[in-house]
Amino acid sequence: MYIRAKPRILKSGEKTHTYSIIESYRVHGNPRQRTLLNLGQDFNLPKEQWPTLMKLVRDGLRGHARLPFEDEVLCQASQDIMEKLKRKGYDVHDPRDDRDAILTNEIHHTDTRTVGGERVVLKALDLLEFTQILQTLNFNRDQIHWAIALVVGRMLSPGSERQTYDWMCERSGILELLHAKRPCDRTLYRIAAGLYAHRKTIMDELFGNTRAVLGFTEMIVFYDLTNTYYTGRKKGAFLHHGRSKDKRNDCPLVTLAMTLDASGFPRTAEILPGNASEPKTLRTAIEQLNGDQPTVIMDAGIATQANLAYLKEAGLNWICVQRTKTPPVPDREPDQVFQTTHEMNVRAWKLGENDAERRVYLHSEARQAVSDQIITTKRAKFEAAIAHLNEGLTLPRRPKTFAVIERKVGRLVEKYKQVGHHYQIQVVNRAASARRKDSPDASVGV
C-alpha cells in the first residue's frame, strides 16, 4: 500500500497532480496494482511523510493501537483514510492474490488441546506393553483407556484425580488420541484404586519390560525414603506425625519408600505411615526384589547393625556411609583418584577389611568447599542472632528478662545445632555472650 502522484494538465494549461492509494498484489506470480482510494488534488501532505501515513493506515486497519507520540496531523489524516476504505468495503485480511491467505500478524484459536507430550508418553507406554499388562489383570477396554489417561495425566500434569479429570477433559487431547469415552468424575478414583491394588504386579512387569527394551542388567539398587505432609483435618490410616523432610513437623505425614536401579528406573515403591521407622522398612523392600541379588546402596540412617546383619544373611552386597563421626582426612597419598560424572575429583584411601567388610575413605575438595560454606553461613547467622539478643538488652521494646533470654538462646542452639555446640554461651543478668571453643578470640556480644 502506497501513495501515487499522477500528473495532470487542466484545460487552462495549468499543471497539477492527482493522488491515489495503490495496493500491489500478484496473479499467477505476476505483479499487479489496483487503486484503493482517490485522494483528489487537495492532498497536501509532504511527500516525505507519505510512508509514515501509510504505515499508520495499515496498523489501524489491523487493529494496532497508535503510539501516543505520533504526529496529530498524520493521525487525523490516517483516520479519515481508514473510514473511507471501510465504507468501500476494504478488508486488510482479504487474500490479495491467488495464493492461500496466512495471517502472519495475528492468531485466533478456540478450544485448543495439547497432544505433543501425550504422544511421547503413549509411545513409551506402548513400548513397555502397559496395555497388555492391564489386560492380564482383567481390565476392560474402557478401563484400560482411562487407566492410561490417568497415568499420562500424572506424568504431564501431576495432581489429584479431580485435577486430572479437568486436565483430560478441558486441556488435553488424550481422550481423542486413545479414541476413549469421556469418564465421569468418580471413575478415575475407582481406576486409581484398581491400579494401586495391583501395584506389585504392574511394577514388576513394567520393570521387566524396561530391562528388556533397554537391555541393561540389574547390578545395583538404591533404597531410600522420603515423606510429604498433609494439611487439613482429614484422617487416614497412613497419616501420622513424624520427622518431616520439609520441616513441617506440625502436619501429619505419609512416607514413600522407593527402590531404584543404577539407571534411575523405579524397581519398587511403597506407601508407608508417616511415622515409619526407616531401618525397619529395608527387609520388606529386599523381599520385593523376587530373589534378585543386586548390590544395595543406602544411607547411614538405614544402615543399622541389624540391617547389615540381614543383608549378610541374605547374601547381598551393600554400600553405605558409616554411622560414626567423620574421621579426619588421612595424611598419606590416596590409593586412587577418580572423577565423578560431574567431573568432580575424588580421592580414595583404603582403610582395611574387617569381617568381610571393606572400609574406604572418600574425600572431594568441591564437596568439602560446599560443606565449609554451609557451616560458615550458619555460624554467621548464629552469631548475628546472639548479637541481636545482646543489643536488645539496652534497647526499648526488646526482651530483657533473664528467663526469656535464656530460653531464646536455647532455641537458637537447637536451630543451629550443627554449629551451636562449637560455642560456649554465657547469659548473665545484663548481657549475653558467645565464644567459639575452637577459636577463643572469636566472640560475639559483651
Closest CA to 269 of 293, 254, 283, 288: 288
Cβ contact 398:392 at 8 Å: yes
Kindly report, residue by residue over 120-150, the tens digit of the pLDDT.
999 999 999 999 999 999 999 999 999 999 9
Identify the domain boundary among 311, 332, 365.
365
Please tell me whether residues 286 and 374 are part of one structural domain: no
Return phi, psi of residue 62, to 5°. Answer: -85, 0
Identify the domain boundary among 69, 87, 105.
87
Please tell me whether residues 278 and 410 are part of one structural domain: no
Q: Is residue 212, in this structure, part of any structural domain at all?
A: no
**Residue 440 pLDDT > 60:** no
378 CB-near residues (< 8 Å, 6+ apart): 416, 418, 419
Kindly report, residue by residue over 147-158, the tens digit of the pLDDT.
999 999 999 999
Q: Is 84 exposed, middle or buried (0-12, 13-18, 19+ CB in 10 A)?
A: middle
Please tell me whether residues 174 and 270 are part of one structural domain: no
Centre a 10 Å sphere on the Cβ of residue 286 and count the other Cβ atoms it contains: 20
Please tell me whether residues 81 and 129 are part of one structural domain: no
**Residue 186 pLDDT > 60:** yes
As a whole-number percent, the residues of the chain with pLDDT over 90 amount to 24
Sheet holding 357-364, edge to edge: 336-339, 345-354, 357-364
Mean pLDDT of the 420-433 span: 73
Q: Which domain range does residue 263 map to?
A: 225-365
Question: For residue 250, what is its C-alpha cell?
Answer: 506440625
Q: Check residues 119 and 99 and name the one with the higher pLDDT.
A: 119
Q: How many domains does the chain fold into?
A: 4
**Residue 106 pLDDT > 80:** no
Please tell me whether residues 238 and 283 are part of one structural domain: yes
Please tell me whether residues 396 and 346 are part of one structural domain: no
Identify the domain boundary among 137, 167, 201.
201
Kindly report, residue by residue over 369-412, the tens digit of the pLDDT.
998 899 999 999 999 998 898 888 888 888 888 888 888 988 99
Q: Is residue 102, in this structure, part of any structural domain at all?
A: no
Please tell me whether residues 263 and 181 are part of one structural domain: no
Q: Is residue 93, in this structure, part of any structural domain at all?
A: no
What's the confidence (pLDDT) of residue 359? Answer: 86
Most confident of 31-40, 169-178, 227-236, 340-349: 169-178
Please tell me whether residues 240 and 361 are part of one structural domain: yes
What's the confidence (pLDDT) of residue 439? Answer: 56
Please tell me whether residues 336 and 232 are part of one structural domain: yes
Task: Give the mean pLDDT of the chain.
Answer: 85
Q: Is residue 38, in this structure, part of any structural domain at all?
A: yes
Mean pLDDT of the 183-211 span: 91
What's the confidence (pLDDT) of residue 147? Answer: 96
Q: Is residue 100, in this structure, part of any structural domain at all?
A: no
203 CB-near residues (< 8 Å, 6+ apart): 266, 267, 268, 269
**Residue 325 pLDDT > 80:** no
What's the confidence (pLDDT) of residue 224? Answer: 87
Mean pLDDT of the 41-47 span: 85
Kindly report, residue by residue over 348-358, the tens digit of the pLDDT.
998 888 777 88
Please state the three-class secondary structure of the chain as a single string: CEEEEEEEECCCCCEEEEEEEEEEEEECCEEEEEEEEEEECCCCCCHHHHHHHHHHHHHHHCCCCCCCCCCHHHHHHHHHHHHHHHHCCCCCCCCCCCCCCCCCCCCCCCCCCECHHHHHHHHHHHHCCHHHHHHHCCCCHHHHHHHHHHHHHHHHCCCCHHHHHHHHHHHECHHHHHCCCCCCCCHHHHHHHHHHHCHHHHHHHHHHHHHHHHCCCCCEEEEEEEEEECCCCCCCCCCECCCCCCCCCCCCEEEEEEEEECCCCEEEEEEEECCCCCHHHHHHHHHCCCCCCCEEECCCCCCCHHHHHHHHHHCCCEECCCCCCCCCCCCCCCCEEEECCCCCEEEEEEEEEECCEEEEEEEEHHHHHHHHHHHHHHHHHHHHHHHHHHHHCCCCCCCCCHHHHHHHHHHHHHHCHHHHCCEEEEECCCCEEEEECCEEEEEEEC
Please tell me whether residues 251 and 361 are part of one structural domain: yes
Q: Is residue 344, in this structure, part of any structural domain at all?
A: yes
Please tell me whether residues 237 and 125 are part of one structural domain: no
Please tell me whether residues 339 and 380 are part of one structural domain: no
Cβ contact 90:58 at 8 Å: no
| CA–CA distance, 346 with 235 (Å, rounded to integer) | 48
* CA separation, residue 141 to residues 148, 179, 180, 216 (Å): 11, 11, 9, 32
What's the confidence (pLDDT) of residue 254? Answer: 93
| CA–CA distance, 177 with 152 (Å, rounded to integer) | 12
What's the confidence (pLDDT) of residue 231? Answer: 87
Kindly report, residue by residue over 57-90, the tens digit of the pLDDT.
888 888 887 777 788 888 888 888 888 888 888 8
**Residue 109 pLDDT > 80:** no
**Residue 9 pLDDT > 50:** yes
Q: How many residues does the chain have?
A: 446
Q: Is residue 245, in this structure, part of any structural domain at all?
A: yes
Q: Is 1 exposed, middle or buried (0-12, 13-18, 19+ CB in 10 A)?
A: middle
**Residue 222 pLDDT > 80:** yes
Cβ contact 303:323 at 8 Å: yes
What's the confidence (pLDDT) of residue 100? Answer: 55
Cβ contact 239:274 at 8 Å: yes
Q: Is residue 279, in this structure, part of any structural domain at all?
A: yes
The structure's pTM equals 0.59
Closest CA to 376 of 298, 439, 445: 439
Strands 318-319 and 439-445: unpaired
| CA–CA distance, 144 with 391 (Å, rounded to integer) | 68
What's the confidence (pLDDT) of residue 446? Answer: 30
